[in-house]
Amino acid sequence: MNDVLFLIGFVGLGLLLGSFTTALAYRAPRLIPWAFGHRREDASQGVNISAYRSICPNCQTVLQPRDLVPLFSWIYQRGRCRHCHAPISFLYPLIEACVLLCVLIAAVILGWQLKLAFVIAAVPFLVALLFIDAQHMILPDSLMLPLAMLGAGYQFALQAQAGLQPGPMLMNLLIAPVFYAGSIWLLSAFMTKMLKRDALGFGDVKFFAIAGLWLGLSNFALFCLLSGILGVAQGILWNISGRGRAFPFGPALIVALYVLLLLPVAACGICDWFLLE
């Protein structure tokens, strides 16, 4: 019974976070505020509407709670806006389903522990970044910053539990992201010179730094190996689909980070300080 309630609770949480993630994926690449909005006048409706309220991209109608039930609203309305009947992209329910799946997998694998809270909090930003990079080939800073803050908070909490002092904590938090970002930046510069074209975007370099915050030094080689394998597979599929040779590397990095966060070895970031001593 407890297991059933456990899963039901995380299904509800996953659906709520899925709805939040669709807003992130739509707004971040369009520079629309998602965390703190401003108010604007809507002359057609004669009311003030918060910029962070969800609206139909076609008719601009402010969506009500019944329009925003994750997965079910899209299915019930047959993929169309309830107000103007314009088609609603299938990406919305796809994103919501991905978030739900990621939350459930993390809950089942990690169980009740501090790490689970941080991973679930990171899922909306990871999934939104994945879809944004796949569509627009950008990794917005407005989503990378919260992800970095969560990673720093996660490592800080682990190191506090291990009894480390503030000085060593800060040193450990700084070393891993600098090493990750510096290493991949040097490799990218070398590959760019060899290939005569950009090998990696600066957004990818920043994501490496974020991965360093989450995973720590001890997981650097594993992260590079897994993201490299995923990147090669993604590049082959991207080329086969006729989209050209240039492809976003962000999705491979994001999937690699999520997978490693679910593995016991990813929890060993706390060991980095002791390795450095």
Question: pLDDT for 67-84, tens place per residue?
Answer: 667 777 777 777 777 777
Is residue 118 a part of any domain in this protein?
yes
The rounded distance, in Å, linking the Cα atoms of 164 and 276 is: 13
Question: pLDDT for 53-70, tens place per residue?
Answer: 677 766 766 766 666 677
Q: What is the pLDDT of residue 159?
A: 77
Q: Could you tell me the residue range of the domain that residue 267 belongs to?
A: 113-276
Is residue 90 a part of any domain in this protein?
no
Query: Could you write out the three-class secondary structure of the chain?
Result: CHHHHHHHHHHHHHHHHHHHHHHHHHHHHHCCCCCCCCEEEECCCCEEEECCCCECCCCCCECCHHHCCCCHHHHHCCCECCCCCCECCCHHHHHHHHHHHHHHHHHHHHCCCHHHHHHHHHHHHHHHHHHHHHHHCCCCHHHHHHHHHHHHHHHHHHHHHCCCCHHHHHHHHHHHHHHHHHHHHHHHHHHHHHHCCCCCCHHHHHHHHHHHHHHCHHHHHHHHHHHHHHHHHHHHHHHHCCCCCCCCCHHHHHHHHHHHHHCHHHHHHHHHHHHHC
The rounded distance, in Å, linking the Cα atoms of 151 and 172 is: 13
What tokens were used for 196?
């005569």
Is residue 205 a part of any domain in this protein?
yes
Is residue 91 a part of any domain in this protein?
no
Mean pLDDT of the 232-250 span: 81
Is residue 35 a part of any domain in this protein?
no
Is residue 20 a part of any domain in this protein?
no
Lowest mean pLDDT among 30-44, 173-187, 207-221, 242-256: 30-44
Mean pLDDT of the 108-127 span: 92
Our count of domains for the chain comes to: 1
Is residue 25 a part of any domain in this protein?
no
Is residue 47 a part of any domain in this protein?
no
Assess whether pLDDT exceeds 70 at residue 47.
no
Is-contact 39 48, C-beta < 8 A?
yes
